[in-house]
């Protein structure tokens, strides 16, 4: 539902936030590392789950402009992890700091790259969902307290 809401969203910024939320929900498994720092969990989970998809995003022609990351001579693992950090930070900054005002009228200086960023965030969310479904994980867990494998049986 959140993915569909992101696709239908008029605001590129809100759509990008929703795409990250879609992916972030997949990291809430009932596993021992669930309590780790959220950013660390996010980075490690997706770097393990979908390195090829992340490398496709890193290879995109607008990668450096959209994510403000210089490729240089760095290794792909380093670039993937910085990409994940920037994606998560993008969501956190807007959720905790509020959306930036955007006016797209005749005399506005509309933020450039919004549609490209939105497309790359959509690619990330889609890759996260498909990677999760292909992985050996057993189920999509919406609310760990309800879906926990360790909860007591009820009679």
Domain residue ranges of the chain, discontinuous segments joined by +: 2-147
Distance of CA 75 to the CA centre of its chain: 21
**According to the model, what pLDDT value does residue 19 have?**
95
Beta strands (DSSP E) in the chain are: none
Tell me the per-residue pLDDT of 6-57, one tens digit each, with 9 for 90 and over.
999 988 888 999 999 999 888 876 666 556 677 888 898 899 999 999 999 9
pTM for the whole thing?
0.73
Nearest alpha-carbon partner for 129 in 45, 22, 48, 55:
22
Q: Is the pLDDT of residue 142 over 50?
A: no
Share of the chain above pLDDT 70, in %: 69
Tell me the per-residue pLDDT of 30-43, one tens digit each, with 9 for 90 and over.
666 556 677 888 89
Please give the Cα distance from 83 to 97 (Å, whole number): 20
pLDDT tier at 94, thresholds 50, 70, 90 = low
**According to the model, what pLDDT value does residue 152 have?**
42
Q: 121: which 2 tokens? A: 């965030």
HSE-CB of 2 using CA atoms within 13 angstroms: 17
Q: Report the helix count and the strand count for the chain, using DSSP H and E.
A: 8, 0
């Amino acid at each position: 539902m959140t993915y569909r809401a992101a696709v239908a969203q008029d605001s590129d910024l809100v759509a990008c936030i929703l795409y990250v939320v879609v992916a972030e929900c997949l990291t809430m498994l009932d596993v021992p590392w669930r309590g780790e720092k959220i950013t660390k969990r996010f980075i490690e989970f997706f770097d393990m789950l979908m390195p090829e998809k992340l490398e496709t995003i890193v290879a995109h022609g607008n990668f450096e402009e959209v994510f403000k990351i210089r490729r240089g001579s760095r290794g792909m693992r380093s670039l993937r992890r910085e990409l994940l950090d920037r994606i998560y930070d993008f969501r956190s900054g807007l959720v905790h700091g509020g959306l930036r005002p955007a006016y797209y009228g005749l005399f506005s200086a509309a933020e450039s790259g919004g549609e490209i960023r939105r497309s790359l965030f959509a690619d990330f969310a889609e890759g996260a969902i498909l990677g999760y479904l292909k992985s050996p994980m057993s189920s999509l867990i919406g609310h760990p307290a309800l879906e926990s494998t360790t909860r007591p049986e009820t009679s």
